[in-house]
Amino acid sequence: MPYESLYLHVPFCAAKCDYCAFYSEAGLAPAWRRRYLDRLREEFVETEPLASIFVGGGTPSLLEPAELDELLGLVQGNFRLQPGYEWTVECNPDSLTPARIEVLVRHGVNRVSLGVQSFLPTLRQTLGRRGELGDLGRTLACLRANGILRQNLDLIFAVPGQSVAAWREDLARACDLGIEHLSAYALTIEEGTRLAGRLATEEEDFEAMWEATDEVLATYGLRRYEISNFARPGAECRHNLAIWYGGTYLGCGPAATSFDGTTRWTQPASLADWLAGVPPERDELPPRERACEILAFGFRTIAGWQWPAFEARTGFVAQDLRGPELAELVEQGLLEPRGDGLAPTRLGLLLNDSVLSALL
């Protein structure tokens, strides 16, 4: 199937944050960035006009303005975009300078996602969060003044030692900056991260923080539309929604994943191996199993699935694939009928792992 979206992985960071399990390299010489840019274009293939582009990392805003200009120019020169496209770039607050903003604007980027994680110094220290927030309000105002109105902030909750009151404070401070989208991730202490070596997993008042997230954000007009994501109506991240509903995407760069509707493959999570042309790891499933996977991940969203949309996406009838399992999830109160389909209940979102394990 044609690719509907493009994901571009920029693997460079100034320093590796203790909680981060995404592939990145810190402190590399500029020559590595040159080699990365030279190699990247080899992964580009001809596609239909794209609905969305997402440039993530790593820290794309770590690139020097001239390097960022070259990167975005490569994308712009090799891919066409549909009318009304969404083009997101992930940035760190302390490296998103006016010069870099000017580059983003010139190439047509219209959405920026900023990693904050927490406004509170003690929690940032617990997380091992590198970098500073700088004058975040001024940065967001500069984006708006230059026409980039779609802005997301990332926050993390269920951090050891974090109180519900502290979490509410982080949420309110983020929303007071006038954002239209917020990603609220529960901390997962991933094996192999620095945080895993320093902290044992602690029982937190997870459900109280979950409830507080909906309550605080609702007062600012942001509603949950996926397990970890909230937006004002119309400001949902279209790139991520397409992927949760089984959309196709081309992934370029080390550790980037692609999906053509049938097969998924992932580039090596090593800059050196990727530069050397080490082949990607392929994940091939029979069509029925792939359709079950798409079914399961659609229930990460508040809307769930309408059956005509699922059949159009996969060619399968959901009841033929997992009829008894779907009925059991309804009986357990994890899914509920909605229109001509099913959607997760509040409990089904909270216990999404149970939904996934039943359907995969």
Tell me, yes or no, whether 276 lies in a domain.
no
Query: Last residue of a domain, which of 213, 228, 243?
Result: 243
CA distance 236 to 336: 23
The pLDDT value recorded for residue 200 is 45
The enclosing domain of 359 has a CATH number of 1.10.10.920
Quote the Cα angle for 184-190-17, to 5°: 70
Tell me, yes or no, whether 279 lies in a domain.
no
Question: Residue 287: is its pLDDT beyond 70?
Answer: yes
The enclosing domain of 12 has a CATH number of 3.20.20.70
The pLDDT value recorded for residue 65 is 98
Question: Residue 34: is its pLDDT beyond 70?
Answer: yes
> Are 185 and 311 within one domain?
no
> Are 230 and 316 within one domain?
no
> Are 164 and 36 within one domain?
yes
CA distance 66 to 50: 25
Number of domains within the chain? 2
Taking only the tens place, the pLDDT of each residue in 157-203 is 999 889 999 999 999 999 999 999 999 999 876 555 554 444 444 55
Mean pLDDT, rounded, of the chain: 93
Taking only the tens place, the pLDDT of each residue in 18-29 is 777 789 999 899
Question: Residue 336: is its pLDDT beyond 80?
Answer: yes
DSSP summary character for residue 268: -
CA distance 88 to 239: 8
> Are 153 and 211 within one domain?
yes
CA distance 90 to 100: 12
Structural domain span for residue 338: 286-360
CA distance 151 to 113: 6
Question: Residue 265: is its pLDDT beyond 70?
Answer: yes
CA distance 295 to 289: 10
Tokens standing for residue 241: 């929604």
pLDDT over 90 for what percent of the chain?
A: 86
The pLDDT value recorded for residue 191 is 54
Task: Tell which residue, 148, 35, 149, has the closest CA to residue 100.
Answer: 148
> Are 234 and 297 within one domain?
no
Taking only the tens place, the pLDDT of each residue in 223-258 is 999 999 999 999 999 999 999 999 999 999 999 999
> Are 174 and 307 within one domain?
no
How is the beta sheet containing 81-91 ordered, strand by strand?
223-226, 229-231, 181-186, 150-157, 111-117, 81-91, 50-57, 5-10, 249-252, 257-259, 263-266, 281-284
Task: Tell which residue, 214, 209, 343, 277, has the closest CA to residue 38.
Answer: 277
The pLDDT value recorded for residue 188 is 78
Q: Phi/psi at 6 (nearest 5 deg)? A: -130, 130
Question: Residue 146: is its pLDDT beyond 80?
Answer: yes
Question: Position 16: which residue type?
Answer: K
Tell me, yes or no, whether 265 lies in a domain.
no
CA distance 94 to 133: 6
Question: Residue 128: is its pLDDT beyond 80?
Answer: no
The pLDDT value recorded for residue 131 is 67
Tell me, yes or no, whether 83 lies in a domain.
yes
The pLDDT value recorded for residue 93 is 93
Neighbours of 320 (CB within 10 A): 9
